[in-house]
Amino acid sequence: MNDKLIAFDDRELGKWLIDLIADGSDNFLCALAEAVVTAGAADYDVIRPALIKLKRRYCVGDGRQIFGCRVSARRGVPPEIRSVRSQVQ
């Protein structure tokens, strides 16, 4: 039996990848997420460890956005992200 995951079946990373795609910005993580969700199980198995590292690097445990992490509407976007986004746009 094949127990390898694809992005949509991954409970740890699936929602994060979908949120990145929904964000629709032109940053690296969003583009990567779009490609990753099309990967088959064998390819996803190879890229998954890197995705975990990227999520840890760019997301803070309390849900604040660093890059590619959703922010709740009541908290807003931290000032450091607003300044980065305004420079990119």
With respect to residue 21, please indicate whether it lies within any of the assigned structural domains: yes
Instruction: Tell me what pLDDT residue 58 has.
Output: 83
- With beta carbons less than 8 A apart as the criterion, state whether 47 and 32 touch: no
With respect to residue 16, please indicate whether it lies within any of the assigned structural domains: yes
Report in angstroms the alpha-carbon separations of 83 from 5, 52, 66, 67, 86. 36, 26, 12, 12, 5
pTM above 0.85, yes or no: no
The tens digit of pLDDT for each residue in 22-79 reads 887 778 889 999 999 999 999 999 999 999 999 998 886 554 455 555 543 333 444 4
With respect to residue 61, please indicate whether it lies within any of the assigned structural domains: yes
With respect to residue 2, please indicate whether it lies within any of the assigned structural domains: no
Q: Which domain holds residue 68?
A: 7-88
Report in angstroms the alpha-carbon separations of 77 from 39, 63, 66, 82, 86. 31, 11, 9, 6, 12
How many domains are there within the chain?
1
